[in-house]
């Protein structure tokens, strides 16, 4: 059985991290390019935020997205996620219906956040936009991914690496769910004389 991470847990952790940094609701919302009302709904668990939104909040707080979920008991240098033991984020995916299975949550200070994402044929396409980089590898099914103004059809074995600051959306083609590995790479933290990640 998949462990489930609830909206209440995610919202409470975001609020705690915001308070730790001395940020008001409006200040964090501005940094994450959200409205104050939208952030309030996330903190109070009255909405299911898509992973792209959580990535924006994580970047604004300068933390890994894993900070919104269960914290490891001790520092980890290896994280193994067994089959069917990933964490399902929120009770029903998101408001778009997508199911995100989070992998490697116990690994701190990651440069990338890996998920298995499942989209059903009748799920709405939604639209997403966030910082960092994104990589997809199709495991099963077919879907149309629209990035900016260009649409691409991908199927099992295909992969896509793209700039998610371009508005993007997904639509399942056919009657089978689309299932794919999705890596969200954190935004580049530019420092003087360096172009490295984080």
- Cross-strand pairs, 74: none
- Mean pLDDT for the chain? 82
Q: What is the CATH number of the domain that holds 20?
A: 1.10.260.40
pLDDT of 60 strictly over 80: yes
Report how far apart, in Å, the C-alpha atoms of 173 and of each of 142, 147, 150, 154 are.
5, 16, 16, 9
Report pLDDT for 50. Answer: 81
Domain encompassing residue 24 = 4-68
For residue 197, tell me if it sits in a domain: no
Q: What is the CATH number of the domain that holds 130?
A: 2.60.120.10
Do 61 and 91 lie in a common domain? no
Q: Is the dihedral of CA 177, 154, 5, 26 positive or negative?
A: negative
- Token code pair at residue 77: 């240098």
Q: Full-prediction pTM beyond 0.85?
A: no
Question: What would the pLDDT profile of 75-90 be if each residue is shown by its tens digit?
Answer: 567 878 888 777 776 5
Closest CA to 64 of 19, 10, 114, 108: 108
């Amino acid at each position: 059985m998949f462990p489930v991470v609830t909206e209440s847990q995610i919202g409470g952790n975001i609020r705690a991290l915001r308070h730790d940094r001395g940020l008001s609701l409006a200040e964090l919302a501005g940094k994450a390019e959200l409205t104050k009302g939208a952030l309030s709904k996330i903190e109070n668990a009255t909405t299911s935020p898509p992973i792209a939104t959580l990535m924006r909040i994580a970047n604004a707080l300068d933390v890994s997205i894993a900070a919104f979920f269960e914290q490891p008991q001790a520092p980890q240098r290896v994280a193994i996620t067994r089959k069917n033991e990933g964490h399902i984020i929120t009770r029903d995916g998101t408001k778009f219906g997508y199911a995100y299975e989070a992998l490697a949550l116990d690994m701190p200070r990651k440069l990338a956040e890996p998920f298995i994402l499942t989209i059903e044929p009748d799920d709405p396409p939604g639209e997403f936009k966030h910082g960092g980089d994104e990589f997809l590898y199709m495991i099963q099914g077919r879907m149309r991914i629209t990035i900016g103004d260009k649409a691409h059809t991908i199927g099992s074995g295909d992969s896509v690496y793209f700039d998610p600051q371009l508005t993007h959306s997904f639509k399942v083609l056919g009657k089978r769910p689309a299932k794919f590995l999705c890596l969200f790479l954190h935004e580049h933290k530019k420092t003087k004389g360096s172009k490295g990640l984080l």
